[in-house]
Structure 1
């Protein structure tokens, strides 16, 4: 099998591993397989091998799946990546692998490929590598010393789900490496390695997990392991298995999970703040707007007096917008008309802010009317809701 045939198989096999949030990742329009545009960077997303010793129900590369199999030798993979760099087809690398032979054997091959790329090809750019659960501490350290970012994928939020869907895996084999990476992160960053920190990925909808369980696990992981990001992937049916749903991916739930995650990381929200007594996030409203309407007694906020932290909790206003408002009002009192020039173009803040003692769109004392108006506007415009972004 030649290199391009391997690249086609192993590039396709890597597409379900998250290299960034899905709304920032798309497949390259070029003819070369495996190249994805992830944020500002063109990444070669590829597996070292898709010959897996595990039979995880949700995985396209599970041992029992009837798919074409291939493996790269370390130097062969490094040469493929080097050729793509010289041809300006890729600017970075996302390297993962199925578990071939053993976790240590798989990690040894990944480390050797990255060693060649870093020290022989002298590549100084972005490398995201996947830690193989069960690999030895020494190999994990070597991989981290060669990567810009690493990930240890949790995949499912509950132990019983892991035992059912991936019976050959153990939660401690996943959480253990997370702890090891967290403990060495600062040291490696000082040496110029692992500047991008470490991440994980959770699949949504493979079983009966709730949003409360997912976000509670994410909240705990951020606090315990200082994760840089949690990525969420709506389950895509890739195998026929009675343990798995056959429904199409729930992309709206995936978006709501990311919005909830932003509120945890950037706004100081807890899962209870977002969910109240419910197990699932609202589908019709983003989590911040839902929280604001449930806590409407806290509004309207005085746009010229509210703190930065309070302004960041206003629907339609993100960290940049709140910071711009605080800076601008040191020079003059803010008016509603000033918000667009500060980068705040959503009309949602009108329901939650007051200017010079005057509120925005009435009736401010009826959150159910505001909810109805937002939902109806979404339905008529075909958008999730007016001005909605993943950050605000």
Structure 2
């Protein structure tokens, strides 16, 4: 009877830790699709399917979830933008390796989760913390034969040996850049620098590429972080422009193992620190525009200097980046839907990847008109000003001033203050 009571008390303590550490982990947004699948394992539990693990709906309509938690929210660093900085007076908690492993397995068996996203504050030193993160993943894989999705945060400054070991058990590894400018990073997070961030990124890249080569020679060679790596940048904590942010993103995407760059609108959580801008609310519209621009870089064959440049260093908050580009280049339009190549179709506002492919296939059999384009999925409200086809009586961008088209599509513009990035710092 006494043993049962002690177990209840222990569980309550663990659940209280869970509440604290899950709350501490909510500001890290770099957890979404896994992009991997693991082969079936006899006697194992769980699976990391190709549709990924995220807090949203998958392509097949399922809503999947993961346990997003920190191992501890104690931290030796005092980063100005972080809720878990050492100088903050907040509830602290630490889960042991066995407690976190048991929680993950228990939650999976109850069908609460389908995977684990694990990060941690830095305690003692980067290697000590990284070793504990690796121990969680290792115990899940080897002791409990857990075959589901695991995303581990690699600790900046961790050794190559620990990063390499983490890659053997995790589906995805990530290291957050946080601040896109090293000088600003030194001001807001004096204990960090770009070297401590980019070095483990390089270790992860080398491990993935080496694993791919070994797979070609040995069928059963161990996989290394098969879902690649990701990172996160905070938007609005510094005066960096969208051009600065997207240039870093573009450079990262040149690396074959970088799958996603996430953008997190700065949340003003540390009111007392005058190094930070005073924002009443996170710049969510700007965050959304950066994701749209990121999409153009990854899938629409745009270059950074086409989206933002010295004349337009920040994205237009009123319209999406593709429409903004098209309105700045009316000389390119209109294009003939029935003759333009696939790459040019992708440049038309209102035409996505899927609809562009359908246009290329469909026009082989007959000339396309407005009604067919609507059925294909083209957003004619936007596209009609930039294309010609069989019967499209609307005036195009060449007959209308781009500003007039902008007014038609946007309606009432935002105020000047909301359209531009404005940062006010306390004296």
TM over 0.5: yes
Q: Alpha-carbon deviation of 1:364?
A: 3.7
Change (3 A) 1:38 1:186: farther
Alignment of 1:106-255 (within 5 A): 106-188=129-211, 190=215, 191-224=222-255, 226-240=257-271, 241-247=273-279, 248-255=281-288
1:15 aligns with 2:47: no
Change (3 A) 1:21 1:255: farther
Q: Which residue of 2 aligns with 1:382?
A: none
CA deviations over 1:284-342 (Å, ceiling 9, x no partner): 11110000111111111111111111111111111111111111112221111112322
1:63 aligns with 2:86: yes
Q: Alpha-carbon deviation of 1:362?
A: 4.5
How far apart, CA to CA, are the structure 2 residues paired with 1:11 and 1:142?
25
Would you say how many aligned residue pairs link Structure 1 and Structure 2? Answer: 367
* Larger CA deviation: 120-129 vs 251-260: 120-129
Contact 1:303 1:354 in 2 (8 A): yes
Q: Which residue of 2 aligns with 1:336?
A: 370
Q: Alpha-carbon deviation of 1:21?
A: 6.7
1:371 aligns with 2:406: yes
Contact 2:331 2:398 in 1 (8 A): no
Q: Alpha-carbon deviation of 1:270?
A: 1.8
How far apart, CA to CA, are the structure 2 residues paired with 1:100 and 1:38?
32
Aligned CA RMSD, in angstroms, stands at 2.0
* Larger CA deviation: 222-231 vs 281-290: 222-231
Change (3 A) 1:234 1:200: same
* Larger CA deviation: 148-157 vs 324-333: 324-333
Alignment of 1:72-87 (within 5 A): 72-87=95-110
Contact 2:386 2:396 in 1 (8 A): no
Within the candidate set 95, 107, 123, 1:100 is matched to: 123
Q: Which has the larger radius of gyration?
A: 2
Change (3 A) 1:138 1:250: same
Q: Alpha-carbon deviation of 1:356?
A: 3.4
Q: Which residue of 1 aligns with 2:70?
A: 47
Alignment TM-score, normalising by the size of structure 1: 0.89
How far apart, CA to CA, are the structure 2 residues paired with 1:43 and 1:281?
33
Contact 1:36 1:44 in 2 (8 A): no
How far apart, CA to CA, are the structure 2 residues paired with 1:154 and 1:231?
10
Q: Alpha-carbon deviation of 1:68?
A: 0.7
Per the alignment, in what secondary structure is the counterpart of residue 233 of structure 1?
strand
How far apart, CA to CA, are the structure 2 residues paired with 1:173 and 1:75?
29
1:269 aligns with 2:280: no
Q: Which residue of 1 aligns with 2:419?
A: none
How far apart, CA to CA, are the structure 2 residues paired with 1:192 and 1:56?
34
Per the alignment, in what secondary structure is the counterpart of residue 228 of structure 1?
strand
Q: Alpha-carbon deviation of 1:360?
A: 3.8
Q: Alpha-carbon deviation of 1:226?
A: 4.0
Contact 1:145 1:188 in 2 (8 A): no
Change (3 A) 1:110 1:21: closer
Contact 1:154 1:174 in 2 (8 A): yes
Q: Alpha-carbon deviation of 1:47?
A: 0.4
Q: Alpha-carbon deviation of 1:151?
A: 0.9
Q: Which residue of 1 aligns with 2:330?
A: 296
Alignment TM-score, normalising by the size of structure 2: 0.82
CA deviations over 1:326-376 (Å, ceiling 9, x no partner): 111122211111123223345211111110385644564322211111111
How far apart, CA to CA, are the structure 1 residues paired with 2:379 and 2:329?
23
How far apart, CA to CA, are the structure 2 residues paired with 1:152 and 1:143?
13
How far apart, CA to CA, are the structure 1 residues paired with 2:397 and 2:103?
62
CA deviations over 1:145-168 (Å, ceiling 9, x no partner): 111111110001111111000000
Contact 2:386 2:397 in 1 (8 A): no
How far apart, CA to CA, are the structure 2 residues paired with 1:345 and 1:373?
15
How far apart, CA to CA, are the structure 1 residues paired with 2:323 and 2:337?
17
Contact 2:175 2:200 in 1 (8 A): yes
Q: Which runs of 5+ in 1 are unaligned?
A: 23-34, 380-392
